[in-house]
Amino acid sequence: MSRNKILHPVIIVAILMLLAITPTVHGQSSGTVTIQLGSDTGRSIGLLSEIPQGWSGDASTEVLPFGNYIGPISGNNIQTRTYLWFPLSSIPSNATLTSASLEVYVNEWPFAGSADLGVYRVVESWNESLSWASRPTADNSLLASTIISSAEGWVSWNVTSLLQSWRGGTDNFGLMLGSAPAPDNMAGNGWAAAAVGRTASDTSHAPRLVVSYSLSSPTPVPWAGPADIPEPGSVLLLAGGLAAMAGYIRLKRR
């Protein structure tokens, strides 16, 4: 067999080897997940410091009251708190969070007005069997605030830092909505609003978290040197090429 006849399969195998040892590096991809509360998802409850007219108690999973106002019967200053808990299992475990927003839908305005409403981190476990007297403890450090006005629709808060802390190992006990810049602040006194809770008839307006994230994903790049190690599939490709070359040479020698 001539030298030129052997050279052809050798060139083929060399090309296969170059393909086989092409390594991979990590690129970035992104995604967004919306976690919305519902009849069987998460927890939400609104509390008032006094039972309002027409209510059977001081707590509701259907209506989330906001604001501070004077009780029309008692004449007392009435405060409100809303507690929300979202499951985070739908966020990929290897995701890096880039942004997160809390969104609630305001649809009722018993008293006209506007005021700041803040987000605070809850620091102990709780369930929906709450009353004003048994409400869970929250960290009074304001995380985010937004102005609630008399326009019906979605309102949102930037809660990226809170979600990142939960992903970093801080216990997820949920969050609380209350007056800002401090929960007991009576700024905006005389106004009240109501948002949709998780057990309301229109679940499409239930509270939600919108979370954006980035993910590492493999991306092929040209071979950089002998230090790169082929993946198992590439090794099989190389072995097949060598076997083909050996068979070709034996056939020509007959």
Whether residues 192 and 80 share a domain: the answer is: yes
Amino acid 238: pLDDT? 46
Whether residues 131 and 149 share a domain: the answer is: yes
User: How would residue 189 be classed by pLDDT, with cut points 50, 70 and 90?
Assistant: low
CA atoms within 13 A on the CB side of 6: 7
CATH number at residue 144: 2.60.120
Strands 175-179 and 144-148: unpaired
User: How would residue 97 be classed by pLDDT, with cut points 50, 70 and 90?
Assistant: very high
Amino acid 216: pLDDT? 74
Nearest to 250 by CA among 13, 5, 4: 5
Whether residues 9 and 39 share a domain: the answer is: no
| DSSP per-residue codes, the chain | --HHHHHHHHHHHHHHHHHHT--EEEEEEEEEEEEE-BTTBSEEEEEESSPPTT-SSSEESSEEEEEEEE-TTT--EE-EEEEEE---TTS-TT-EEEEEEEEEEEEEEEE---EEEEEEEB-S---S---STTPPPB--S--EEEEE-S--EEEEEE-HHHHHHHHTT-----EEEEESSSTT--TTTTEEEEEE-TTSS-GGGS-EEEEEEEEEEEEE-----TT----HHHHHHHHHHHHHHHHHHHHHH-
Whether residues 87 and 162 share a domain: the answer is: yes
* Chain centroid to CA 85: 12
Whether residues 176 and 243 share a domain: the answer is: no
Amino acid 193: pLDDT? 86
Kindly state the average pLDDT of the residues 143-165.
93
Count of residues for the chain?
A: 254
Kindly state the average pLDDT of the residues 180-202.
86
Kindly state the average pLDDT of the residues 209-238.
61
Whether residues 93 and 190 share a domain: the answer is: yes
Percentage of the chain surpassing pLDDT 70?
Answer: 72
Q: What region does 27 belong to: left with phi over 0, alpha with psi -120 to 50, or beta?
A: beta
Asked if residue 249 has pLDDT above 70, the reply is no
State which residues form the domain around 161.
30-216
Whether residues 165 and 187 share a domain: the answer is: yes
User: How would residue 254 be classed by pLDDT, with cut points 50, 70 and 90?
Assistant: low
- Radius of gyration (Cα) for the chain, nearest Å? 30
- Mean pLDDT across the chain: 81
User: How would residue 253 be classed by pLDDT, with cut points 50, 70 and 90?
Assistant: low
- Number of domains comprising the chain: 2
Kindly state the average pLDDT of the residues 36-44.
96
Tokens of 118: 């803040």
Whether residues 133 and 159 share a domain: the answer is: yes
